[in-house]
Amino acid sequence: MELGIDLGTSTTVAYIRRDDGTTEPVLFDGTPLMPSAVYADPAADSAVGPAGRLLTGRDAIHSARAHPERFEPSPKRHIGGAAIEPMIGALLQRVAAEAARTAGAPAAAVTLTHPAAWGPDRRAVLQRAAAAAGLHNVRLVPEPVAAAAFHLRRPATGPSDLLVYDLGAGTFDVAIVRYAPPGHLSVLCCGGLDLGGLDLDASIVALLRARCGSPEQWSRLDSPVTVADRAAQRQLWDDVRTAKEMLSRTATTTLFVPLVEREQALTRAELEQLAQPLVQRTLHAVSMTIQACPVPLQPLGGVILVGGATRMPLVGSMLRGALNTPVTVIDQPELVVAAGSIDPVLTGAPAPVRPFAPAPPAGPGYAPPPPMTVTAPPPVVLMPPPPPAGPPAMITIVELITVSTPRLTGVTLRGQLHAGFGVVEHVFPTDDEGRLLLFADPNAMARHAAAVGPRDPLLGVPPARVRNDGSDDLCFDLDLLPEHLGAEPETWLPGYVCRCRDLAAQLAVFLDLDGTDDLIGPGSTIDRADDILRRHRGEPSARSARRKLARLDRSQLIEDWVDLIELIEAATVQPTVR
């Protein structure tokens, strides 16, 4: 197993590549994004020395509310200091442990990414921290090179210069990477600024402060002293970040300001007005970097957006206008560097993609189809491409799952798809109108597959390749979930509830269901309940879990879940099979 780690200023992301070539992100508390935060626990622990135990990620953020002086939100900003190396080591140790848990074995090789501008001293700190974390066979790769490797998975890519625009939460970096087939990547020039999405968050908070007044309450939010004030400050900044992310998909949202106890509307137009000066500064940095490049540049073969702040549509539109070049928009820009770091073009490992090709029909008069010619796709611009007409034929793991809703019960298939961009997607069999096919039993599914032929790769999968062990993990009784949500916390089944939520989310994305962003997206009641249950998996009756669950609007949670399942039901069909 290979492990790729993108140690970011604000968040850390990791990917694993298994021996069969499949890749997947490492999850931390149910999400691929782990805050790059460290907290020194005041309880002494001889195993880590007199400084005490180092907590990382969300555990660090949670503990910092009581002792903020022991909290470091971004160790990477201060790399080189004597106290920082153990913090970096603690973050890498956490990643290594979660990756080993996911893959079932420790990593045999590790790729660590770093800013292109880092010199040998900073890179040496990273190497020493990795060794202290128990990581072996470590290679270092510049972040823009990893991003370019991710981009080059697109077919028919020729020699070109690629511009990597990386706008994260705390920093902005730009680099020109030259690609020379078959696999040589080099950074020609780079630049950057100390600004990012957090600066935009601060602008939003300033706007709320100007609108709301209440100086005394705002002083508690700006300079909290008590634990309650620090919790309110954290809630405000978390809600601001969530609202900013929502406005990449919706035109307006509402923010509640704690302590001040007022609601404020925020529109996308207002957000873009606040963001425009920040984006303009990054464009100036891009221009200066291009002008200062020591070698003549080729016409840009692509502009790659990296970092969560690039989700704002304004970034893509201003960058395209400034460079007069199409911009590659990626669904999850936070994952690009980590996913690209373990690409075979960098690691030299083989990439055994196992495409699924149904057996050709036999019989008299059959002639094989002509060879397929692969051409370069058109550039991806601001809006993502429409969903494909059917599941792409690069499916590895296929599972026979049982699904029950209030109106429908049956079996279907779920396939793991590796679409060539490092992110595992889930696909399901559909009819000609794109509706989910749900069958009475496996025999009915087999008869339907025989009747329609091999046009659906999932339905044509040989039975020997289908996982069908009868385990509870493959049974999703979505009809029972509201019953659990309405029960007392100690009766909840966290593993069951989280699995059902995951399946519902997979179906919502695959079936392209309208209206699900508000039901299951970041900050929704379902997402918040899922996050609580994942954090307290196995101990739903713990006092902290009960307290968090009690703060949820239980009736809204049930209503949202029922609405979500109704959308899935409306996009599902049970064919009559003779």
| Cα three-residue angle 207-212-217, rounded to 5 degrees | 110
Q: Is the Cβ–Cβ distance between 537 and 496 less than 8 Å?
A: no
Within 8 A by CB and 6+ apart from 21, the residues are 350, 351, 352, 353, 354
Q: Which residue has the tokens 């290594």?
A: 96
Local structure of residue 472 (DSSP, 8 states) = G
Homologous superfamily in CATH for domain 155-333: ATPase, nucleotide binding domain (3.30.420.40)
- SS3 for 483-495, per residue? HHHCCCHHHCCHH
- Is 2-136's fold the same as 155-333's? yes
d(CA 477, CA 406): 9
The DSSP code sequence of 277-335 is HHHHHHHHHHHHHHHT-SSPPPPEEEEEEESGGGGSHHHHHHHHHHHTS-EE--S-GGG
Structure token pair of residue 346: 């960098």
Q: What are the pLDDT digits (tens) for 56-93?
A: 998 888 888 777 788 888 899 888 777 889 999 999 99
d(CA 577, CA 279): 56
Q: Which residue has the tokens 């990012």?
A: 196
d(CA 105, CA 102): 8
Q: Is the Cβ–Cβ distance between 497 and 549 less than 8 Å?
A: no
What pLDDT does 484 receive?
Answer: 62
Q: Is 227 helix (H, G, I), strand (E, B) or coil?
A: helix
Beta strands in 424-564 (DSSP E): 424-427, 436-437, 466-467, 475-477
- State the virtual CA torsion across 126, 131, 136, 142 in degrees, nearest 10: 0
Q: What are the pLDDT digits (tens) for 482-496?
A: 666 656 555 555 566
What pLDDT does 394 receive?
Answer: 57
Residue 94: φ, ψ to 5°: -65, -45
Homologous superfamily in CATH for domain 2-136: ATPase, nucleotide binding domain (3.30.420.40)
d(CA 211, CA 558): 34
Single-letter residue type at 225: V
| Cα three-residue angle 565-431-562, rounded to 5 degrees | 5
* Residue 44: Cβ-neighbour burial (10 angstroms; 0-12, 13-18, 19+): exposed
Single-letter residue type at 291: Q
What pLDDT does 557 receive?
Answer: 84
Q: Is the Cβ–Cβ distance between 411 and 342 less than 8 Å?
A: no
Local structure of residue 153 (DSSP, 8 states) = T
Q: Is 480 helix (H, G, I), strand (E, B) or coil?
A: helix
d(CA 287, CA 103): 43
- State the virtual CA torsion across 393, 144, 303, 275 in degrees, nearest 10: 120
Residue 303: φ, ψ to 5°: -120, 115
Q: Is the Cβ–Cβ distance between 478 and 498 less than 8 Å?
A: no
What pLDDT does 50 receive?
Answer: 39
Q: Is the Cβ–Cβ distance between 76 and 11 less than 8 Å?
A: no
- Segment holding 397, helix H or strand E: strand 395-404
What pLDDT does 485 receive?
Answer: 60
Output the CA torsion sign for 544, 545, 550, 551: positive
What pLDDT does 349 receive?
Answer: 58
Provide the greatest CA pair distance for the chain: 86
Residues of the chain short of pLDDT 70, as ranges, are 43-52, 154-158, 348-396, 418-424, 453-455, 464, 469-472, 480-496, 535-543, 545-546, 578
How many other C-beta atoms are found inside a 10 Å radius of the C-beta of residue 9?
21
Q: Is 87 helix (H, G, I), strand (E, B) or coil?
A: helix
Q: How, if at all, do strands 160-167 and 172-180 pair?
A: antiparallel
d(CA 286, CA 163): 9
What residue ranges do the domains of the chain occupy? 2-136, 155-333, 395-573
